[in-house]
Amino acid sequence: MKLKNLNPLFLSLCVALPYGCSTTSHKEESTDIAEVESEDDGSVQPEVEPTEIDEAIDDESTTKSAETVPEIGSEEDEINQALKNGIPIELNDKVEKWIDYFVNKNPEAFQRFMDRGQPYKKMIVAMLRDRGIPTELYYLAMIESGFVLHAKSPMAAVGFWQFIPGTGRRYGLRVDNYVDERRDPRRATIAAAMYLSDLNNVFDSWYLALSAYNAGEMRIMNAIMRGKSRDFWQLVKDKQLPAETMDYIPKFMAAFLIGTNPEKYGFRRPTQDANEDLVAVNVPSPISLHTVSEYASVPLVTLQVANPHLVKGMTPPGTQNYKIWVPKTFVSNVNDNQERLATARLNISSTRIAKVEKADRADKADSSPKAALANKKFHRVRRGEHLAMIAEKYGMTVGQLKVFNRLTSSTIRPGMKLKIRGTEIAEADDNKNDRDDKRLVADTDTRGSGTYRVRRGDNLHEIAKRFGVSVQSLKKMNKLRRTDLRIGQVLKVAKNG
């Protein structure tokens, strides 16, 4: 079973998340951050660093604003296929029960859920899709929170995706006296996508991944061990899962079926426009949103609505800068007033701030993008990326990247977490890469001077880079109209003579 390869840290926490908006109160509740902090002793190593969330939101800001996102359910994936093939007969009653509940017993609430989620829908679907997560899981946020930003469960789970503090921190979200990024729809959606991807990698089943999201990794692990099955439906039949988890998948499916065809069930299709595009902009920290509003001529209410996670209306102390969300139309206002904003930083724990900043300057003397990449330990694969592209970004060879991650092929998928080149690469790995390079050189004379035989995993970009030519030159040299290659194909890599 795949379970024998689990990361012990990943399974060390039993994550008990709430199981649906219909059983919890969504009125805004005050958050006692000091109490929240006491629940996490900091002994668990995070799966995702906060810097990874920052990098992801930078990418989203530049690539997603104009993208057209396919309608939920229109792309092929496991959940969509399961629905197309029919819901297993033993759960028909359960799914129908939840459809009946939403349609006949609580239709006003379900309509509110759809309406509240609509302005965020494009953003959430794009972020899920970009990380290889089925876009149907938009409806997971619906049954978790009803898209109430300040939804809080008795387990202290908060936000659209109902993260408890410990799990939020494990996946790169800051939760403290000044900031609760579980309330940030964009940061929390990125963290949820990473968490769901890890759960699916562990359990090799989206149904079990969703069950673990609801009940916790260890409870689902124990259910699998007791039931001696990795089939969700069999575990339900044998009553190995908690009662609320057995209802969780049918509830999700009911929300999906209604949400994708609301008219069929007597609901009105939401018509709200998508929220205004927001861009993550660095501002000096700590600073109040009131000051940013005054100095950069951005309406205060606009900043407050865009940054619901700043629980005290200010960015956190202990860091030089912090990324806030600003509507695209006001980005230049903030950027043009950076020096003025720096003079208006709040004097909170100034000794501590100075100490942190001194350490930051020592650790990050070179803040160039190249230096930042050199300090990274992992890379999350995004849609459209391939090994050669990632290897080039971090100054590696494809061979090194494959060896370091124990990849036997060049196939990667969105959401995968790859180790990238660092000082800890084993000497044996480099030796293997040297052998690969020698074989590559030896292959160049397979048909006279300056030719190369294509091997498994090769692509034009990598081959061109190896031999110091451009892809365009390589295509022209070999009269190639496309970039597709086949194993065994012989390419000219230099002009004759």
Contacts 24+ apart (CB under 8 A), 294-298: 295/337, 295/340, 295/341, 295/344, 296/330, 296/333, 296/334, 296/336, 296/337, 296/341, 297/330, 297/333, 298/326, 298/327, 298/330, 298/333, 298/334
Q: Which residues contact 68 (CB under 8 A, 6 or more apart)?
A: none
For the segment 22-46, what is each residue's pLDDT rounded down to a tens digit?
333 333 333 332 322 333 444 456 7
- Looking at residue 300, its pLDDT comes to 94
Write the CB contacts of 78 (distance below 8 Å, at least 6 apart in sequence): 134, 206
Alpha helices in 313-386, H assignment, sequence order: 331-335, 338-343, 350-363, 369-375
Rounded to whole angstroms, the Cα distance separating 181 from 187 reads: 7
Q: How many CB atoms lie within 10 A of CB 31?
A: 18
* pLDDT band at residue 293 using 50, 70 and 90 as cut-offs: very high
Cα–Cα distance measured from residue 357 to residue 252, given in angstroms and rounded to the nearest whole number: 46
H or E, element range at 324 = strand 321-327
DSSP assignment of 407-455 equals: -SSS---TT-EEE---TT--HHHHHHHHHHHHHHHHHTTBTBTTEEE--
pLDDT digits 0-9 by tens, 263-287: 999 999 999 888 888 999 999 999 9
Integer Cα distance of 278 and 296 in angstroms: 16
Instruction: Report whether 116 contacts 142 (CB < 8 A).
Output: no
* Domains of the chain, earliest start first: 2-265 (1.10.530.10), 278-365 (no CATH), 375-492 (3.10.350.10)
Condensed to tens digits (0 to 9), the pLDDT of residues 224-238 reads 999 999 988 889 889
What pLDDT, in 10s, does the model give residues 153-182? Answer: 888 899 999 999 999 999 999 999 999 999
pLDDT at 61: 59
> Which residues share a beta bridge with 171?
48
- The 3-state DSSP class for residue 489 equals coil
pTM for the model stands at 0.68
Residues 250 and 94: beta-carbon distance below 8 Å: yes
65-78 pLDDT, tens digit per residue, is 446 777 887 777 76
The tally of CA atoms less than 13 A away on the side-chain side of residue 146 is 23
- For residue 326 the two structure tokens come to 């600003």
**In which band, very low, low, confident or very high, does the pLDDT at 318 lie, cut at 50, 70 and 90?**
confident
Which 3 state secondary structure label does DSSP give 352? helix
Q: 182 and 159 in contact (C-beta within 8 Å)?
A: yes
Dist. CA 120–CA 485, nearest whole Å: 41
In angstroms, the CA 459 to CA 451 distance is: 15
pLDDT at 466 over 50: yes
